[in-house]
């Protein structure tokens, strides 16, 4: 599948599955040595090929102005980890968990515990180099990290894998909140 179409497909999936809402969140993947990333302000469920921006994988470039404001975080993740795809969502239960708990988040359900292991909760301003550093270090040994009060960064060898990780984080956070409310 064309990588831009793949980004578009997973944009529809993350919105349809309630992991994020329309213009919140962003998606990227590595393709031919470049980062392809959703544009700033784009609705994830309506991404056309024009709304996928190509940016340099190492250094900030003019196209960054068109890319998602979280582009520095995506770039740092590719620099520091083995990830080949990144999905960032504003998943409600994961965000609630990061506000209510100090972290790291340890899934209580067996599947989440096995599949995700520990999910670090990190602090940092949206799109900042500080957040880029913290997120990329957190994702060297973990498949996902939650930015406190903000959202989830999920990584994988493919968008499919990153999507499963993002879904699992929200599922495990939902279980956690249901258990705590019980
Ligand atoms: Zn965000």
Q: By the 8 A CB rule, do 24 and 151 touch?
A: yes
Q: Which domains does the chain have, with CATH numbers?
A: 3-181 (3.40.225.10)
For the record, the structure tokens of 65 come out as 């102005």
Q: Tell me how far the alpha carbon of residue 68 lies from the centroid of ligand 1, in angstroms.
A: 9
pLDDT along the chain (182 residues), means of 10: 94 94 89 95 89 93 92 97 97 97 96 96 95 98 97 98 98 96 90
Q: Tell me how far the alpha carbon of residue 155 lies from the centroid of ligand 1, in angstroms.
A: 15
Per this entry, what is the length of the chain? 182
Query: Would the pTM count as exceeding 0.75?
Result: yes
Q: Tell me how far the alpha carbon of residue 89 lies from the centroid of ligand 1, in angstroms.
A: 6
Q: How far apart are CA 104 and CA 86, in angstroms?
A: 20
């Amino acid at each position: 599948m064309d990588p831009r179409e793949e980004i578009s497909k997973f944009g529809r999936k993350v919105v349809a599955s309630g992991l994020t809402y329309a213009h919140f969140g962003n998606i990227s993947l590595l393709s031919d040595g470049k980062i392809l990333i959703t544009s700033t302000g784009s609705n994830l469920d309506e991404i056309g090929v024009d709304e996928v921006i190509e940016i340099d994988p190492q250094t900030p470039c003019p196209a960054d102005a068109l890319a998602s404001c979280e582009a520095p975080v995506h770039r740092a993740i590719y620099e520091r980890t083995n990830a080949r795809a990144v999905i960032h969502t504003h998943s409600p239960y994961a965000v609630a968990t990061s506000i209510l708990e100090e972290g790291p988040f340890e899934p209580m359900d067996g599947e989440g515990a096995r599949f995700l292991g520990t999910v670090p909760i990190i602090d940092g301003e949206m799109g900042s180099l500080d957040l880029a550093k913290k997120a990329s270090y957190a994702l060297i040994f973990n498949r996902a990290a939650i930015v406190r009060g903000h959202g989830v960064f999920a990584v994988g060898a493919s968008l499919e894998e990153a999507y499963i990780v993002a879904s699992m984080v929200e599922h495990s956070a939902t279980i956690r909140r249901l258990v705590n409310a019980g």
